[in-house]
Chain A
Amino acid sequence: MVKINLLKAGLVGLSLCVAGTAMAKPVKVGMITTLSGGGSGLGIDVRDGFMLAVKQAGNKDLEVVIEDDARKPGLAVQIADKMIQSEKVDILTGIIWSNLAMAVVPSAVAQGKIYISPNAGPSQLAGKGCHPNYFNASFQNDNLPEAMGAYATKTGVKSTFIMAPNYPAGKDVLNGFKRFYKGKLSSEVYTKLGQTDYAAEIAQIRASKAESVFVFLPGGMGIAFMKQYAQSGVDIPVMGPAFSFDQGILKAVGPVAVGVKNTSHWSKDLKFPANKAFVESFQAEYGRLPSLYAVQGFDTASLILSAMKTADVKDTDAFRAAIKKADFDSPRGKLKFGNNQHLIQTIYVREVVKEGDIYTNKLEGIALENHQDAYASQCKM
């Protein structure tokens, strides 16, 4: 026992020494993300973006453990317990889905761990349930549909047919859209989660004679809808949040999505120097174009790395303050956190285009500048 204590004392002394020159305290990050099963493309992009930043920084004091949650809430909780109790990580991150985040985040932050969300921002965690240990480096779920609503209003769209799957995120998205859309709603339709055939809904869209269609159908649902929509001969323009029209999915849906307007907090052609560098290095490293999920992963890692420069992770208050400063250049420009530790960020409008052989998004304009989410006022922080 004595020996161990001596050794520990020695280590503490050593690290104090190092700390005098540069703040080099080891930080252990646990990443729980979806790497297998449905939707694993998103988790892989977050992981790859995150690891790109880690590699570029070359910071030996940052250790990352990654585990696959297979998109199962129960498994995510189990991994979180393991990472906290057994691996003794300082920071958790990685979760893609709101429902998994709701399973893991409240108890992780209550146990004193910092959690940085690289995707998904359920309203509960942005409003009443906000927490000093919870940061969101991606978006609040309502952000992108709100921006789409604002854009539709701005461009004078008079009537819109809106549609989403029948689950909480779907309802949040449609409510977000309605919050900023001042035109007429020609119809509001909820579909079954995981639905693959949209013939019945497309027939209703055709009959509605609306001026535009707003859809939120993440993953395979969006691909199925767009393919079937293109076949139907209905020519009402489609718009939606970026999730159904982002880089990973465009390979499968590209030709039928050309011309779709979508809102996003990032675009490949944003004019920031950090963005150009990010897109190039991501492509060089992985041989594909980055998605917005990759950017979110990249920024999450950058937040941690920037905070490590000035603070010790064991001093939670100081480390949180350092994260909140976000002292680095993101591909999205300079990041700024609001009172609820969600980003106040500009949401852009993009259009799906074909560049050479590749389907991608082109920046179209700004939908909402420096936008803060609707729940920030409910957060007592």
Chain B
Amino acid sequence: MDKFDREKALNVLIALSLLIIPFIAIEMDEPFYVTLATRVVVFAIAGVGLNLALGLGGLISFGHAAFFGIGGYAAGILASHALNYEPLMTSLFELNGTTEMLIIWGVAVVASGLAALIIGLFSLRTSGVYFIMITLAFGQMIYYFAISWPAYGGEDGLSIYVRNKFPGVNTLDPINFFLICFTLLMLSILLISVLKNSRFGAALQAARQNDERLSTVGIHPFKIRLTTFVVSAMITGLAGALYADLNRFVSPSMLSWHTSGEIMVFVILGGVGRLFGPVVGAALFILFESIFGGLTEHWMLFLGLVLLAVVLFARGGLIGVIAGKTRHG
């Protein structure tokens, strides 16, 4: 079988098994596994976002936790205002919080997109190691801001006591919330797939290889990269909002550089630039955490060893191992 067909078949298999697991869990009366699967899905969305910048754009952002956290805080702040009946602002006109997921997602996406626009304008002037480090620095800046900002709990974080609402669906039922997240995951993967095969995607990959050639045909690589960075951040921000709803809680730890590292780990474990790479990576990570975390306090040592082995010996990640190399691998 052709290698690319093999990857497509694998993708379908991954999507189906992820979809089926929660239903089996309900059948076996183990509702916790629904939560676990939802966690995988949410982390996968965050990874899909980063994968756009990292895998397609070659932009190694070490600060995506910032967007994950901003999305989370957008959800947390809106919901807490709505639940406490305190308007967000009263000066010009009265603006209230909300518990409608659709609005929250919109705000989360716009807020993280705006943050990415500002961070991107500065960071994309640099490249290589400088880009890695400046995105890390912006992430740290926002992290310290969140810790010491008293209005929304600072380091204690912010609780959302009730899960937010979605029209026509009971979101308190774990399986419904899972399905909402799963749909969003599939939509974001679809978006990436469309982008990848569009003129934009072609330009992005060209910009990755050679700036000047692109400039001579009248395409501005900076604008292409900035757009990629912003879209990537928006997807990760959406994941942050979902994560807030899943945990009913947001805190600055969502913004810490460890979170940036973990999102990167999802992408790598699965396979950089692969459509379903982050899904596989997030699933592996969660499995590892919940299996070894229960067995030994030192599970992070083993996570480190596995990660090291993947980077050194299985460069395409798990999908790469199974489906073989891609053209630009």
In-complex A–B contact (CB below 8 Å): yes
In the complex, what's the smallest C-beta–C-beta distance from A198 to chain B, in angstroms?
17
**Chain B residues closer than 8 Å to A85, beta-carbon distance:** 30-32, 35
**Chain B residues closer than 8 Å to A193, beta-carbon distance:** 147-148, 155
In the complex, what's the smallest C-beta–C-beta distance from A369 to chain B, in angstroms?
30
**Chain B residues closer than 8 Å to A171, beta-carbon distance:** 150
Q: Are A99 and B251 in contact (CB under 8 A)?
A: yes
**Chain B residues closer than 8 Å to A289, beta-carbon distance:** none
Give the interface centre of B144, B156, B243, B299 by most chain A CB atoms within 10 Å.
B156
The range of chain B's interface size is 20 to 34
Q: Are A72 and B253 in contact (CB under 8 A)?
A: yes
Q: Are A168 and B298 in contact (CB under 8 A)?
A: no
Chain B CB within 8 A of A12 CB: no
Query: Interface digits, B286-310 against A, CB 8 Å rule (1 contact, 0 not)?
Result: 0001100110011110000000000
In the complex, what's the smallest C-beta–C-beta distance from A25 to chain B, in angstroms?
22
**Chain B residues closer than 8 Å to A270, beta-carbon distance:** none
**Chain A residues closer than 8 Å to B157, beta-carbon distance:** 73, 99, 102-103
Bound CA span A77–B245, Å:
12
Chain B CB within 8 A of A36 CB: yes
**Chain B residues closer than 8 Å to A72, beta-carbon distance:** 253
Query: Interface digits, A100-121 against B, CB 8 Å rule (1 contact, 0 not)?
Result: 0011001100100000000000
Q: Are B249 and A78 in contact (CB under 8 A)?
A: no
The range of chain A's interface size is 20 to 34
Bound CA span A37–B254, Å:
17
Q: Are A70 and B300 in contact (CB under 8 A)?
A: yes
Q: Are A82 and B32 in contact (CB under 8 A)?
A: yes
Give the interface centre of A37, A67, A85 by most chain B CB atoms within 10 Å.
A85
Give the interface centre of A35, A70, A168, A190 by most chain B CB atoms within 10 Å.
A168
Q: Are A99 and B32 in contact (CB under 8 A)?
A: no
Q: Are B243 and A74 in contact (CB under 8 A)?
A: yes
Bound CA span A192–B143, Å:
12
Give the interface centre of A67, A74, A106, A190 by most chain B CB atoms within 10 Å.
A74
Q: Are A74 and B254 in contact (CB under 8 A)?
A: yes
Residue of B nearest to A83 (CB): B32
Cβ contact of B39, chosen from A78, A102, A110, cutoff 8 A: A78
In the complex, what's the smallest C-beta–C-beta distance from B156 to chain A, in angstroms?
5
Residue of A nearest to B256 (CB): A72
Interface residues, chain B, CB within 8 Å of chain A?
30-33, 35-36, 39, 144, 147-148, 150, 153-157, 159, 161, 243, 247-249, 251, 253-254, 289-290, 293-294, 297-300
7 A–B contacts, CB within 8 A, in A order: A68-B297, A75-B293, A78-B36, A86-B31, A167-B148, A168-B153, A168-B154
